[in-house]
Amino acid sequence: MAGKTAGSLSTAKTKKPRSESPAKAGEPKLLSGGNPQIPKGEGDAPVQAYIAAMPGWKSEIGHRLDRLITRSVPGVRKAVKWNSPFYGVEGQEGWFLSLHCFAKYIKLAFFRGTSLDPVPPVASKSQDTRYFHIHEGDEFDEAQLAAWVKQASQLPGERM
């Protein structure tokens, strides 16, 4: 930086405003990979805000999954943490399932997935967790998902 004046240094340090995602004012920002940035909160409202903000085809699938989970576990406890919906059993600590948007798929994380029968197909770095991915256009077995949700809800929840 030799030869630059103090005035040119201050100009060089001026940052341009960051470009925001194409979200309109008041709408949630989409993080990299298309995951909605939703403030953490307990209850159905933040989960519904997350699902509504899921981009494109993912929102419809998010609604389908939420209805399936709610039917499978009456009185299910819901929250948004770390920009992902979490599901637990009312009156118990911990969570049995979460959803997360990625650029090309939705990831369902079963925190005690290795205890489910059959075990969900995608392994995790976490010893007990297993994943199920849903890509655009995938047909998935709702009965199998409901069975996993019911089984997962009967296991000890993951504390987070």
pTM of the model: 0.81
Lowest mean per-residue pLDDT among 34-38, 48-52, 67-71: 34-38
Among the ranges given (41-45, 118-122, 156-160), the one the predictor scored with the smallest mean pLDDT: 156-160
Residue 95 lies in a domain: yes
- The domain that contains 115 carries what CATH number? 3.90.1150
Q: Which domain holds residue 76?
A: 29-153
Give how far Cα 2 sits from Cα of 5, 101, 113, 152, Å: 9, 47, 60, 63
Mean pLDDT of 132-145: 96
Widest pairwise Cα distance in the chain? 71
Q: How confident is the model at residue 9 (pLDDT cuts 50, 70, 90)?
A: very low
For residue 88, being part of any structural domain is answered with: yes
Name the domain count of the chain: 1
| DSSP string covering 76-127 | -EEEEETTEEEEE-TTSSSBSEEEEE-SSEEEEEETTGGGSSSPPSEE-SSS
- As a whole number, mean pLDDT of residues 49-60 equals 95
